Amino acid sequence: MLFKIAWKNMRKSIKDYTIYFFTIVIGVAIFYIFNSLGSQTVMMNVSADTREIIKMMTTIMSGLSVFVSFVLAFLIIYANRFLMKRRNREFGIYLTLGMGKRKVSGILVLETLVVGAFSLVAGLGIGIFASQFMSAFVANMFDADMTRYRFVFSGDACIKTVICFVIIYGIVILFNTINISRCKLIDLIYAGRRSEKRPMKNPWICTIIFIAAAIALGRCYYLVGSDKVNISLDGLKWILVTGVVSTFLIFWSVSGLLLRVVMSIKKLYYKGLNSFVLRQLSSKINTTVFSMTIICLMLFVTICVLTSAFAIKNTTAENLKKMAPADIEFKVNMNLDLFAGKDQKYSRKQIENSHFNVVQRYEKKKVDLNKYLKESCEVKVYRSPKLTFAEFCGDTIQDVKEQYPFMLVNTGEDIVTISDYNRLMELFGGKKYTLAEDEYMVVANFDGIIPVRNRVLSQGRQLNVFDRKLKPKYKECQDGFMDISSQKLDMGFLVVPDDVVQEKWIAEDCLFGNYKASAKQEVRRLEDELRKLPLKSTCIYASKQEIADASLGLSAMVTFIGLYLGIVFLIAGAAILALKELSESADNVERYRMLRKLGVENRMLNGALFRQIFIFFLCPMVLAVIHSYFGMQFSTRLLTYVAEKDQLFTATMLAAAIIAVLYGGYLIITYFSSKSIVRE
């Protein structure tokens, strides 16, 4: 009997369950997809290093899932409150007809179990299907071989998802039982006629608070957006606290000002149903100031996290093409007897080996590098004993020490001849240069040090390089690099005429080359052979493939964490707004009925309802977007090494598309659900 009543109630209230059902289904699907990442990559043919990165990523995802489960639990309980409030009168009628509270609780338990079972099955179905597309996305990120791919079902992710949501439904059932046991019959019967207390706020106080909060936010925006301001950790904490408090005060003051400001514009206020819409909207914001603040901050985090994640992903892929133009780089230290520091001690054998370059060292071990390389280029790096970074900076060194207190300024400057550099650029496909016999130039690509070097070069500072006076050919650094592992972190080196250097001051010998093989598997086979060679301990090398695996691993980890948290926060914020709007619509049925009796057409009512919902959803999003604009400026300064500014536009568009689909989807569902409620 109870099951029959519960089933009829669900069929009758299917429109009320739309948001609730949609939220749970999306939550289950997202939870399964991101917890099944490890299983999705089982059939991929990836390297051992990549597999370790994937393993670490899945471990992090499992830890994040604990936090996500708490967010989803709060969201489902919050959504359940709306359904309880919507049906208070129905429960009151049950009690009036003689049904005990235990049986009413039993009906709710059955409804929760049925809805939970349906949503769990639907969410898992969507998650299992969507996870196959996630496999392709993962494979694309890790550049994996998908030839052996087949349909994958993750039993561990399924069990974890079922256990998590069974616990959440258990909490919901307990919450409903306690709520019913504490309810009074009179409160249930007249619940629809009770209204929340909405105190009027003094407009002058609201104006003063709004101006103060806006000034405080403006100050925060300036601090995080200006390149001239260095923010300490304590300073960042105060900025965050000020931003949160100011956001709350903005919504608090707007809720008291909105209606009065629009009322002063008579033509706008009395046009159509604007007076009704604005009063309803002002009332909603007035009673949801705290919720609006939380949702705004969640949307702000979502926008920043998604945009940063996509920017890092795009930058990593782009940098790999630009910053690793050669397949491999070998490097050996030369002349250790000349460059050994006071605290550095080397054996006789190490010092003897340091007088041989890369090719000579391999030849001594009877290894022919031509077996592996189809083309190569040798570059010798010199260091003058008198030319350090501090000497290069001259009078500006004190400013450098203040700006970069941990920088080693007494290290020798790297020096390369113009002919070696041009040969390297021929291999890299870069720009070649010419120098007069009394000129030098600086090549660098690290954004943090380029302004320092440019300041020195703009002054035309002459340098003493191996007892030759040289002047700068260019007033600023030329964009470039030498080490393929530098990845936008090359602090800079000097390029000088060939006859300036002295052979005995060679500090490093570098050999750059491209493999004879082009297929990925063949490249990995060659690299495995090189790792086994006896020179690994004395010859340092950087490989494009290793850099790709490490870079893509970081990119994938950041992207998936950003997607996971961003989507969950977005769903939570949109669902809370939707449920609040549906609750208000249920409370305002009498008002809409009264408007119909006064002759208002359904078309006008629907338009007024849509404007009301659209503005309600727009309010936290507008402030979140403003926060995000300045927040991303600060993020790009922090992520300057892994995210390019020119990648932000594409990343922003991708993040905006995800937000538009999910946030807009909740808005549309809320509108149609509210329309069905007010038509009753």
The C-alpha atoms of residue 673 and residue 594 are separated, in whole angstroms, by 20
The single-letter code of the amino acid at 21 is F
Residue 178 is predicted with a pLDDT of 73
Strand (E) or helix (H) holding 317? helix 289-323
Q: In this structure, are residues 647 and 315 in contact, taking their beta carbons and an 8 Å threshold?
A: yes
- Is the pLDDT confidence value at 12 over 70? no
What's the residue count for the chain?
A: 680
Smallest Cα–Cα separation from 496: which of 457, 444, 440, 442?
440
Q: How confident is the model at residue 492 (pLDDT cuts 50, 70, 90)?
A: confident
pLDDT reading at 442 higher than 70: yes
Percent of residues, the chain, with pLDDT higher than 70: 71
Task: Name the pTM for this structure.
Answer: 0.68
Q: Cβ(302)–Cβ(570) under 8 Å?
A: yes
Residue 537, token pair as written in the block: 């301990």
Residue 163, pLDDT score: 86
| pLDDT in the model for residue 497 | 92
**Quick check: 493 pLDDT over 60?**
yes
291: helix, strand or coil: helix
What's the pLDDT at 110?
73
Query: Residue 4 pLDDT more than 70?
Result: no
Q: Across all residues in the chain, what is the average pLDDT?
A: 76
pLDDT in tens, 358-377: 888 887 777 777 877 888 88
Residue 569 CA to residue 563 CA, distance in Å, equals 10
With bands split at pLDDT 50, 70 and 90, how would you rate the model's confidence at 441? Answer: very high
More confident residue, 61 or 647: 61
User: Which residue type occupies 340?
Assistant: A
Helix (H) or strand (E) holding 331: strand 328-333
- Closest C-alpha to 484, from 413, 549, 523, 542: 542
Q: Is the pLDDT of residue 189 over 70?
A: no
Segment 425-439, tens digit of pLDDT: 988 888 899 899 889
Instruction: Tell me the pLDDT tens digit for each residue of 538-549.
Output: 566 777 777 777
Q: Which residues have a Cβ under 8 Å from the Cβ of 98 and sit 6 or more positions away?
A: none
The helix-helix angle for 544-587 and 289-323 (nearest 10°) equals 160
pLDDT at res. 678: 74
Least confident stretch, 209-213, 309-313, 530-534:
530-534
One-letter amino acid for residue 389 of the chain = F
Residue 126 confidence (pLDDT) above 80: yes
pLDDT, tens only, 69-94: 887 787 777 777 666 666 666 666 66
Please count the other Cβ atoms lying within 10 Å of the Cβ belonging to residue 291. Answer: 19
Averaged pLDDT, 490-513: 87
Joined tokens for residue 515? 């493999």
Structure tokens at 456: 């020195």
Give the pLDDT band of residue 634 (cuts 50, 70, 90).
confident
- Residue 154, judged by CB atoms within 10 A of its CB (0-12, 13-18, 19+), counts as buried
Q: Answer positive or negative: Cα dihedral of 510, 516, 521, 527.
A: negative
More confident residue, 63 or 319: 63
Report residue 312's pLDDT band, with 50, 70 and 90 as the boundaries. confident
Beta bridge partners of 441: 495
At 324, is the pLDDT very low, low, confident or very high (cuts 50, 70, 90)? confident
Predicted pLDDT at 519? 55
* Alpha-carbon span 621 to 515, nearest angstrom: 52
Kindly report, residue by residue over 237-293, the tens digit of the pLDDT: 788 888 888 888 888 887 777 767 776 677 777 777 777 777 777 777 777 778 788
* Among 574, 531, 209, CA closest to 367: 531
**Which residue has better confidence, 562 or 45?**
562
Fill in the DSSP letter of residue 228: T
* Window from 77-91, 183-197, 274-288, 553-567 with minimum mean pLDDT: 183-197
Average pLDDT over residues 215-241: 75
Task: State the Cα angle at 16 between 12 and 21, rounded to 5°.
Answer: 105
SS3 2: helix
Q: What is the 3-state secondary structure (H, E, C) of 348-407?
A: HHHHHHCCCCHHHHHHHCCCCHHHCEEEEEEEEEECCCCCEHHHHHHHHHHHHHHHCCCC
- Structure confidence by residue, pLDDT tens digits, 579-622: 778 777 777 777 778 878 777 777 888 888 888 888 888 888 88
The percent of residues in the chain predicted with pLDDT above 90, rounded, is: 3
Q: Pick the residue with more confidence: 106 or 566?
A: 566
Among the residue ranges 8-22, 445-459, 635-649, the one predicted with the least confidence is 635-649
Residue 421 has what pLDDT?
92
What is the predicted pLDDT for the residue at 1? 59
Judge whether residue 44 has pLDDT over 60. no
What is the identity of the amino acid at 487? Answer: Q
Query: Is the pLDDT reported for residue 406 higher than 70?
Result: no
Residue boundaries of the structural domains of the chain: 1-194, 325-548
Q: What is the band of 120 on the pLDDT scale with cuts at 50, 70, 90?
A: confident
- Range with the poorest average pLDDT among 54-68, 153-167, 493-507: 54-68
Q: Compute the average pLDDT of residues 541-560.
A: 72
